[in-house]
Amino acid sequence: MSADGMTDEAIRVLLMNTQRIAVVGASANPSRPSFGVTGFLVDRGFDVTPVNPGLAGQQLHGSTVAASLAEAGKLDMVDIFRRSEEVGPVVDEAIRLGARTVWMQLGIVDAAAAARAREAGLTVVMDRCPLIEWRRLGMAMSA
């Protein structure tokens, strides 16, 4: 079983019912996974706000990069590209801001942060990539 206990159908429903996504740890470097995933989400028609204080104010895949999660505005999902040990504060901020979902990328697991998020009513996805899940589930590739 996956680290998050999510079923394929739950992942599919989550992706289909999400509109606004903040990508924390977004990169302007095309060789970084966060660059590709951010572009993929934009191409699928999601309203994406990249979050990276070092790139704040710049454009990434047609969206203005926010310096912080709080600047990203109202969110459905927070997609986290940070090391596992750095996830807790991001999850706590997502809870505080009223996000519906926290999504920790491949290799990222923080059981304590996940428990706090679930206790606050958020859906938690861990150790997965939305791009990989989208393709694996055979979801439509056009926006």
Chain mean pLDDT for the chain? 95
For 55, the token pair is 């790139």
Quote the number of domains for the chain. Answer: 1
Q: 77: which strand partners? A: 21, 101
Residue 51's pLDDT band, with cuts at 50, 70 and 90, is very high
Supply the pTM of this predicted model: 0.94
Instruction: Using CB atoms within 10 Å of the CB of residue 37, give its burial: 0 to 12 exposed, 13 to 18 middle, 19+ buried.
Output: buried
CATH code, domain with 111: 3.40.50.720
Answer yes or no: is pLDDT of 142 > 80: no
Domain that holds residue 75: 8-136
Q: Which of 98, 111, 109, 138 is nearest to 15 (CA)?
A: 138
